[in-house]
């Protein structure tokens, strides 16, 4: 996942994601659900842009988790006050508990299967402080993605231009996104490919997984800034 594109990740996603608005939306949801919240764990934090903004613009103490070591290096540069851990979200065992555990931009889809989703939600629950909440932005449910869908993005940063072509395939409850990159560095042109595999879950299945993990959740419909949200609390 993003093994070749870490340095170019921000360049690509800054072309269409408004991180400031997204961070404000996350902060609003957290404060509405838990007015006294001060600490956040950002799971699958990527390069740390949400973490940085939630700290600098909204006053939270934010730590992060990701599997990608290069993403974590960039996150630490952006948000030196945060602690960033290299870990699998399915196997989290961190020293602290947080007022809010968040997992944004559909990263939860990478767990692939419903048993692994339930397992992951158990680890999230374990890291929620008393009175705390879990907020997850899901991947698309069944029936939304279309096999053969193609899209392209291009961006430039620090003299490097990248073109990314994405092709989606759907097989049963799995979606596969092939990213083909063409990277221009001066006179040098390099090409590389990544395959991303994400599980496709219904709202009902996801709510059942929350319940099985000891969390009471509700689902909010997609908005202009997210693909929907699940907001959960530890069950009584």
Q: Are residues 53 and 113 in the same domain?
A: yes
* H helices present in the chain, as ranges: 6-13, 19-33, 49-56, 69-78, 114-126, 203-212
**pLDDT tens-digit map of 23-79:** 999 999 999 999 999 999 999 999 999 999 999 999 999 999 999 999 999 999 999
- Judged against a pLDDT cut of 70, whether residue 201 lies above it is answered with yes
- Judged against a pLDDT cut of 60, whether residue 2 lies above it is answered with no
Spatial distance between the Cα atoms of 114 and 37, rounded to a whole number of angstroms? 30
Question: Which residues face 216 on adjacent strands?
Answer: 233
Q: Are residues 106 and 170 in the same domain?
A: no
**pLDDT tens-digit map of 164-184:** 999 999 999 999 999 999 999
Q: What is the CA radius of gyration of the chain?
A: 18
Residue 93: left (phi > 0), alpha (psi -120 to 50), or beta? beta
SS3 state of residue 119: helix
Q: Are residues 125 and 154 in the same domain?
A: no
Q: Are residues 115 and 218 in the same domain?
A: yes
Average pLDDT, the chain: 95
Name which of 83, 86, 32, 46 is nearest 61 in CA terms.
83
Spatial distance between the Cα atoms of 197 and 176, rounded to a whole number of angstroms? 5
pLDDT bracket for residue 4 (50, 70, 90): low
Q: Are residues 48 and 131 in the same domain?
A: yes
Spatial distance between the Cα atoms of 218 and 22, rounded to a whole number of angstroms? 19
**pLDDT tens-digit map of 113-161:** 999 999 999 999 999 999 999 999 999 999 999 999 999 999 998 888 9
SS3 state of residue 220: strand
Residue 112: left (phi > 0), alpha (psi -120 to 50), or beta? left
Question: Which residues face 135 on adjacent strands?
Answer: 102, 231
pLDDT of residue 39: 98
Q: Are residues 76 and 127 in the same domain?
A: yes
Residues spanned by the domain of 189: 149-199
Is residue 59 in a domain? yes
Backbone phi and psi for residue 27, each to the nearest 5 degrees, phi listed first? -60, -40
Q: Are residues 154 and 226 in the same domain?
A: no
Name which of 54, 46, 139 is nearest 86 in CA terms.
46
How is residue 2 written in tokens? 């993003």
Name the domain count of the chain: 2
CATH of the domain at 209: 3.40.50.150
Place of tokens 């030196």: 80
How is residue 146 written in tokens? 């279309």
Contacts of 110 (CB under 8 A, 6+ apart): 1, 44, 196, 197, 198, 199
Beta strands 188-199 and 215-220, pairing class: unpaired
Name which of 131, 133, 72 is nearest 101 in CA terms.
133
pLDDT of residue 225: 81
CATH of the domain at 182: 2.20.130.10
pLDDT of residue 3: 54
Q: Are residues 161 and 130 in the same domain?
A: no
């Amino acid at each position: 996942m993003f093994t070749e594109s870490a340095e170019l990740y921000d360049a690509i996603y800054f072309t269409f994601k408004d991180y400031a608005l997204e961070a404000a939306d996350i902060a609003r949801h957290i404060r509405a659900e838990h007015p006294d919240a001060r600490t956040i764990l950002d799971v699958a934090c990527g390069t740390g842009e949400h973490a940085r903004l939630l700290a600098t613009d909204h006053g939270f103490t934010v730590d992060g988790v990701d599997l990608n070591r290069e993403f974590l290096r960039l996150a630490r540069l952006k948000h030196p006050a945060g602690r960033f851990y290299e870990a699998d979200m399915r196997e989290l065992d961190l020293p602290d508990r947080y007022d809010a555990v968040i997992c944004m931009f559909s990263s939860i889809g990478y767990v692939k299967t419903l048993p692994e989703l339930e397992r992951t939600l158990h680890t999230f629950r374990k890291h929620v402080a008393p009175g705390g909440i879990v907020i997850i932005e899901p991947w698309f449910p069944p029936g939304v993605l279309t096999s053969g869908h193609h899209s392209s993005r291009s961006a430039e940063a620090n003299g490097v231009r990248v073109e990314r072509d994405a092709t989606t395939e759907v097989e049963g409850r799995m979606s596969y996104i092939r990213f083909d990159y063409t990277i221009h560095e001066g006179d040098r042109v390099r090409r590389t490919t990544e395959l991303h595999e994400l599980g496709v879950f219904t709202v009902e299945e996801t709510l059942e997984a929350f319940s099985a993990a000891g969390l009471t959740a509700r689902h909010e419909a997609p908005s202009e800034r997210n693909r929907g949200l699940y907001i959960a609390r530890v069950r009584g």
